[in-house]
């Protein structure tokens, strides 16, 4: 760097210092606290808190919700990205805005809309009761709320990447006689695999960690409609700090793994861009 585009060393050092202190207090300290509270009474108690029957059923429900929400939103994301990035049509901007809507809505409202639709006093409430279908305060409601809050993740990662790649390669494949599926699997997918993986990782982190939306539709029935984040809340409110932080540490592990994978994929994409 030339003189005149950099600060004097003392300014530089103090700016770095303030940034490091901010990161340490705001971001690192909360994670250290979770670990230290979870392990406050040793590994034995930590393990007992995690192998509690309610904690395990919460873990199962969290995995189930993510196992449905992530693939559903992957299929949607790929399909939305294909029609938006590869074709020109009217109203595209409006469609893009609609896809972003779930990000703009408060998680609590994301849950509320399903209560108003499927709850006892909701639009379909009576019909559902007569046919003995339970959605709110049951597993389907939790899955629906999870799908809603993670709706845009995959589509948003894929659309800009596929738009940038244009349609030349796909058009070449089509003129060579490839059908739609062949074009997608052999030409498009290899080009977007990292962006897709990136979207899946973010989608999964949100699906497993969602609290507000799920909390509204869950009814907090232990062993039945409790996800891991909801279980953290229940334990915390019952003053079972150790157990709450033990379960929280699991979710924190998920966040750390997400960040590591994210960093690896970003580094790969950067390298790939430098090559081209």
Partner 1 sequence: MSNTLNVDPADLSRDYFRAKAWRGHFRRPSVLPGFGLTFGFTLFYLTLIVLVPLSALFLKSIQFGAEAFWIAATAPRVLAAFRVSFGCALLAAGLNVVFGLLLAWVLVRYRFPGRRVCDALVDLPFALPTAVAGISLAALYAPKGWLGQYFADWGIKVAFTPLGIMVALLFVGIPFVVRTVQPVLENFDLSYEEAATTLGANRWQIFSRVLLPALLPATLTGFALAFARGLGEYGSVIFIAGNMPMVSEIVPLLIVTKLEQYDYTGATAIAVVMLMLSFAMLLVINLLQAWARRAEQRR
Which residues in the 5-64 window bind partner 1 by CB under 8 A? 5-8, 11-12, 15-16, 18-20, 22-23, 25-31, 33-34, 37
Site for partner 1 in 243-262 (CB under 8 A): 244-245, 248, 251-252, 254-256, 258-260, 262
Instruction: Name which of 91, 83, 107 is nearest 207 in CA terms.
Output: 107
Q: How many residues touch partner 1 (CB under 8 A)?
A: 103
User: Beta-carbon neighbour count of residue 267 at 10 Å?
Assistant: 10
Cβ proximity to partner 1: between 89 and 274 the closer is: 89
Instruction: Return the residue of 109, 133, 189, 272 that touches partner 1, per CB under 8 A.
Output: 109
58 Cβ contact partners less than 8 Å away, ≥ 6 residues apart: 226, 227, 228, 230, 231, 247
Q: Which of 45, 52, 54, 233 binds partner 1 (CB under 8 A)?
A: 233
Distance CA 65, CA 217 (A): 13
DSSP string, 208-262: HH--HHHHHHH---TTTS--HHHHHHHHHHTT-HHHHHHHHHHHHHHHHHHHHHH
Q: Which stretch binds partner 1 (CB under 8 A): 53-61, 127-135, 189-197, 228-236?
A: 228-236
Of 48 and 86, CB closest to partner 1: 86
Tokens read off for 123: 């639009």
Q: Residues 210, 212, 245, 231: is their CA dihedral positive or negative?
A: negative
Contact stretch for partner 1 (CB under 8 A) within 47-55, 113-121, 156-164, 192-200: 113-121
User: Cα-atom radius of gyration of the chain, to the nearest Å?
Assistant: 23
The footprint of partner 1 on residues 153-172 (CB under 8 A) is 167, 170-171
Q: How far apart are CA 183 and CA 172, in angstroms?
A: 9
What is the number of residues in the chain? Answer: 276
**Binders of partner 1 among 115-154, rule CB under 8 A?**
115-117, 121-123, 144, 147-148, 151
In the set 42, 53, 88, 275, which binds partner 1 (CB under 8 A)? 88
Among 59, 61, 65, 80, binds partner 1 (CB under 8 A): 80
Interaction of residue 71 with partner 1, rule CB under 8 A? no
Q: How far is the CB of 173 from partner 1 (least distance, A)?
A: 9
Q: With binding defined as CB under 8 A, does residue 67 bind partner 1?
A: no
| Residue of 33, 243, 50 lying closest to 234 (CA atoms) | 243
């Amino acid at each position: 760097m030339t003189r005149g585009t950099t600060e004097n060393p003392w300014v530089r050092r103090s700016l770095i210092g303030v940034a490091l202190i901010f990161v340490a207090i705001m971001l690192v300290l909360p994670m250290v606290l979770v670990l230290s509270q979870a392990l406050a009474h040793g590994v034995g108690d930590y393990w007992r808190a995690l192998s509690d029957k309610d904690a395990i059923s919460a873990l199962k429900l969290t995995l189930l919700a993510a196992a449905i929400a992530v693939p559903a939103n992957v299929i949607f994301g790929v399909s939305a990205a294909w029609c938006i990035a590869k074709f020109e049509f009217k109203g595209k901007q409006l469609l893009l805005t609609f896809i972003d809507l779930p990000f703009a809505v408060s998680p609590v409202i994301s849950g509320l809309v399903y209560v108003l639709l499927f709850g006892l006093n909701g639009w379909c409430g009576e019909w559902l009761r007569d046919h003995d279908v339970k959605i709110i305060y049951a597993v389907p409601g939790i899955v629906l709320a999870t799908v809603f809050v993670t709706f845009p993740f995959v589509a948003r990662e894929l659309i800009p990447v596929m738009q940038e790649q244009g349609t030349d390669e796909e058009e070449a494949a089509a003129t060579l006689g490839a059908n739609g599926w062949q074009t997608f699997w052999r030409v498009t997918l290899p080009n977007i695999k990292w962006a897709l993986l990136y979207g899946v990782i973010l989608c999964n982190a949100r699906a497993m960690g969602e609290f507000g939306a799920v909390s509204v539709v869950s009814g907090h029935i232990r062993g039945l409609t409790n996800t891991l984040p909801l279980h953290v809340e229940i334990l915390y409110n019952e003053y079972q700090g150790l157990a709450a932080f033990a379960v929280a540490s699991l979710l924190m592990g998920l966040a750390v793994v997400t960040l590591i994978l994210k960093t690896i994929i970003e580094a790969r994409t950067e390298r790939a861009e430098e090559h081209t």
